[in-house]
Structure 1
Amino acid sequence: MDAHWGPAVCLVVLVRTWALVSGQVRYSVPEEAKVGTVVGRLPQELGLEAGDAEARRLRVVWQGRRASVEVSGASGALVVSSWLDREELCGKSAPCSLRLEVLLERPLRVFPVELEVTDINDNAPLFPAARKNISMAELTTVPGSRFPLEGASDADIGANAQLSYTLSPSEHFTLDVKSPDENRKLLFLVLTKALDRETVPVHRLVLTASDGGRPSLTGTMEVVISVLDVNDNAPQFSQSVYKVQLPENAAEGTLVVRVNATDPDLGPYGDVIYDIDTFEPASGSDLFSIDTKSGEIRLKGSLDFEAVTLYDLQIKAMDKGLPPLSSHCSVELEVLDVNDNAPEVWVTSLSVPVPEDASVGTVVALLSVSDRDSGANGRVRCWVWPPSPFGLESRFAGSYSLVLREALDRERVSAYEVEVRAEDGGQPSLRGSRGVHVPVSDVNDNAPSFSQAVYTVLARENNAAGAELARLWARDPDEAENGRVSYSVWEGGAGATSSGVGWRPASSYVSVDAESGRLWAVQPLDYEELQALQFEVRAVDAGEPPLFGNATVQLFVVDENDNAPALLPPPGGGLGLVPPAGQVVAKIRAVDADSGYNAWLRYEVWEPRGKGPFRVGLYSGEVSTARALEEADGPRQRLVIVVRDHGEPSRSATATLSVSLVEGGEAALSGAGSQSSSGLGVLLPAEGGFSAGAASSSSNVWLVVAICAVSSVLVLALVLYGAARCAPRAAVLSGPAPATLVCASEVGSWSYSQRQSRSLCVAEGAGKSDLMVFSPNLPPPPAVAAAKDTSHPEPSALLDTVSSPLVLSSPPPFFPSNEINASFLASLQHFHLSSLEDCKTCRLWS
């Protein structure tokens, strides 16, 4: 402000001068003068003395304004007391005069004073706003368009308020200032060049206003021109072609690619929406989806290299303008193969069943093998599993023949389950397979075969006609007609009969059912007529030509106890002396037409009961004195002898023996008999009637003859036994089992077995048990160790041969009935092996 004091002092002088002329005190002070600045010396103006101002209390009274000047103390000078702002006090009014009243007391007087506040250039031009925003549409706003601007204002007056305007440099805008009058100026912003929002979206200009003060003050306003967008740009992709590779096993939801398109426009004009325009091939529409906002393309299905290897997607990006603008790009998706397909095996031709006599190299089936994968994943190797008579031969790529490598045998394997396996070359490799059922057709290459070459059949005599004897079965492993077996009796011979009848065909005794192989009796069998029968059964299949097999059947008739013992006529003779105790006086002879156990006879004294003078040998039938005869016994004795067999139930016959004591050297024997009983008479001479030496001599002769005969038979038996062991046995009587062995007592009855027995053993001791075993030609029994009594010597070799039937644990499976088996085994259990130890002499009967 010091620079303004010079003019101010001059102004004060002028005011004073003016005041003196007009008679009113006028002062002038510049605005913003410092506090304490002397505006004027009122005492002097009012003609007061220097000390009167304070004494008379000189002061300034403002009219409705705050006091900005005051009278200073003793000097009475009018000084600035507070900040003076002309713009605040007077605004734009010019001049700015303030009316003051100077009050003087003692005496009270009022003097008007006019104070003019002069303007200084203390206010810069001021725009209504620091920023002016203007919006202009690109392209549509043509050059030359004018946009009004508000000018600045300056609180100063006069030259300090004279404003001039300038605009910052711009190639698009200029400033046009119009002055309709001196106090008003109109400002226009003029567009000189078309706008492009994408080039310069916002133009920032500075409008400057300068006043006419010295120095000049300026004010500025920022003019912001926002270029409004129009939809003049289509979205642009970052790439015209996106190339992507995905494995075919990519999971659903996998990100394929993210396309990106940009639109330089703003707002909806720059918002891009993505869409898949076209699919190549069209099946891709089910596999891909795109996010309309982000442009992410994802899988929504499963890829399959074997179906499609390349997908071409045309992607469209479109903005939201009206009308919308769009652009396109291409996404090329290459599907990479993975080993996800196992090899496939197909049977294109199958020639089954294969005859079992087919030659090696016969083609059974044609196979096709393929793998939908490519490269190593699609290379396939094949083989047959499990190892079988079949193999593979490659015809050309992917085609194989299943051929026969070995001869077939339907009876060993009737059908083959062939598995053709294929494996590809992937990592890891995959396998495929195809099962081929190859049945083998039958040819008639097997004859019927019986389970046994020789069947031994036991048949009870007196069986009913039509009774089943056994069931024969022949196996033919062929099938259908080739394996359907029919049976027939192939004539053999029958054994000799007791009636003397010669050879008779086997069909007169037995027959076989053609379908079931059931062997049955044509007529009841009589053991006394037929003991053994051997014949063949033939099994013939229905093949073409038919094949057959034979089996030998050995039929043994098991004796039934159907004959009672029969007494033989007694021989003549007598004793000359009164017999001492133990003397044989008679011999009862009887035979039984049955065989074996049923023909084994025993003798008992039936009458008299108690202790009589006579006794009978249990098995010999010899009647001997039990003690010396006495006169008290009477001249005549009557004995009733019962002869019983061992059958079940047993049969018997009775013989009546009359013993008379007579005088003289002649004894007579008389008797009578019938089928059920017979009578015998024995005359015992009185003392001195016969010579004891003659009787003894006769007995010794017969004893020597008997011993020689037995010895001869024993030697003959040993010779025949050795020959039988070395040479094949006869058809009917051959077999693994030995001949029947019968042991009887000392002079035992052997006459019952003259026709049936095979061997006879005679042992001493009338009270010892006998052994009788019937052994047909049975299969060898299982080896069982026979119990052996170490206290006795080993039996002879001949006796060893009969031990095996005694350890037979169960009947053969071909026995005709359990009834016969039980009867046969029961008869075996009756005898004791220990009885063999008592045998001293044996005779072999042919």
Structure 2
Amino acid sequence: TLLYCLISVVIFATTVVLGITTKYYTYEEDAPGTFIGNLSMDLKIDPSEDPNTSFRFMQEGNSSLIQMRKCDGLLTVGQRIDREKLCQRSTQCLITSDVVVFSKEKFHLIHVEIHVRDINDHSPMFPHNEIQLEILESMALGTHFPLEVANDLDVGNNYIQSYQLFHNSYFDIEVRTAEDDMKFAQLVLVKELDREIEDSYTLQVTASDGGSPPKSGSVTVHVKVLDSNDNSPQFEHKSLKVELNEDAPIGFLLLRVQAFDPDHGQNGDVHYDFVEGVLNDMKNNFDIDPLSGAVTVKSMVDFEVRKSYELNIQAYDLGENSIPSTCAVIVEIVDVNDNAPDITIKPMTLMNEGMAYITEVAAVESFVALISVTDRDSGANGYVHVSLHGHEHFKLQQAYGDNFMIVTTSALDREKIPEYNLTVIAEDLGSPPFKTFTQYTIRVGDENDNPPLFSQPVYEISVMENKAPGSYIASLVARDPDEAANGKVTYKLLENEVEGVLVSSFLSVDSVSGTLYTVSSLDHEHVKQIEVAILATDGGSPSLSSTALVKVRIVDENDNVPFITYPVLINGSTDVPIPYNAPAGYIALRVEAHDMDDGVNAELSYTILEDKEILFSINKKSGEIVLKHRLMFRYDDVIEIKVRVSDLGRTPFSCTATIRFVVSDTEPLEKQVMVVLESSDEKDDHDVDVSLIVIVLLGAMCVMLLVAIAAVALSRRTIHRDVSISKMEGGSAGHFKKTPVFKTTDQMSVKDSGKGDSDFNDSDSDTGGEAGQKMTTLNHRHARSKFSRAFAIYKLHIFIVYSLIEM
């Protein structure tokens, strides 16, 4: 069998998202496996450039008829195609499929049209093998006699192309073509009949198609010649054309035909009927009244099903040998807007519970779904405007014909928007318009595009030393917004060394929760800080990860006892030489100690526990042991003291040492002599607050000073009163009253300065002048006495203060 395959590729759009229609041609009845076309080759898609390239049907409706290879889109015949069964009498027979092509990380939509071409596999056939026809001998020349219509299931050139009448001179054959391309044969009388000469004829009518080679079918027509009925009914018009709205109700009067017969009686009684051989759908949709010729609607017609009908009506009388006449009525169906647009959405992937899916890594302008919009109406009633609503991340793009693609307008991110609810609206331009709404849900499929992230890149954690192994330290959380395994985070400790020891010897991390635990007891004195990197990895493929640096600061605990490093002790004691003539303030020894702890726990305090001679004091911070008094011992005498060194921890630790000072004949070094104003060890021993002692001393001094001043003032007042009374009593001139006179210091100073002496002497008598001199002498003595007492009190204060300090 000769196989034909023609290929035609028509590109309707060259946008980033391909909207391509490919056309292929094949013949019906081709054997399975017959080559039809190769999509990858015709669309210039090289599968070798992307091994993930794939071709698949969006719907599997015709998968049994057409097979497609997934890797390169090779199209072949799946099973034998019967065009007549698939498309009946349609002049165009298509097998359409939408193919989704995935290549180079992008989805493309390919609309495939496979035109099935007809082969001449059917012969014309008449309904009956024989036809009986009666004709009056008086029938006029040119009279037409309709024959039964032959049927041929093939189309185009393979359909009936001609009728032939063989071996007859009385009749000819005439062929009429209806609007649906059906061909009707009629016998035409071309020679007058004479029943007396020949009362019957046998005709052979053959219908032939245009196939190669052509096929034909025949019918035998038996013509019987009758005596004439002079007149036959005649229509006013041989043909009529009427319009019928598709929404016309049943019983609607389409038209009324009328034929006239001039005969009388039954020969002139005209009746109407459809011509024999009229298709059943004509009789099912229309009815004719046999008496009135009224044609009515018998059932609803639909413009979308059939756009026109041809009714062949015959009129005949009731006389013998009636010869009918015919009238052809063309009924054109007028479309009305009675259909709302239909929306069909075919997703790129199969829908699950009314939901389509697309991966979040789909490229911009990637194909998502195909929208097919149909309106069975015509003209403006069938013109549909389509719009998409719901989100700006998607738009409509013309694919082909009345088909549109939903494509992405931007990159998708499931973590931000996991699902889109879109609405497709289709509205026709009828009056009033019909509008159809279809809800469409797109769920964004997760891809592993987000690594787990910690809340901060560096964590600083403090933990007390000496915690038991397995103790909780902290919980680290890395969040991954992806779904399922892509968002499941596991944790791992990245190995490194701290002070030459693997970090896993100190810490561990729970792989599921991210909780950090101790593996062994931590020692601040050995390791003060551990820095470890924690790796968080998701379960995607390939997996993504991130790290965080954890700085674990080991907080010191007071767990070490201080020890004395100088002088060197033997069994907790040592001998230290001291000069025999060491003065007060001589630094006999500087005790040095060390504590392995840190911070406050390592700060040390020095005290003297035992000093029977009360000879030494110690600086609690520096550990310097200093003589409080000059040394008054002989050679080789031993002075023993006991010293304690304590740390300042919350629960302090301490150590003690016995120090024996051996008096030697060496001379003291000047640099070891210092002035000692306070003894910190005594202060500590007696637990006395020095500041309190100073405040008390200063208060006592102020009180004593006030008492001294008051005493001086009282004694001076008594002396002045006595002097004034003596002067009053000793004066002869009586210049003075017996009123007490108190002389101020200012008055005495004015007189002593010499200002106004001559004036004072002129006004006074000799006796008065002597008295004044006596009183001045007494005042000088009193002032000297007062200064002596005050100075004595001051020296007393200084002595008391110094004595207290020495204590």
TM-score (norm 1): 0.35
Question: Radius of gyration: which is bigger?
Answer: 1
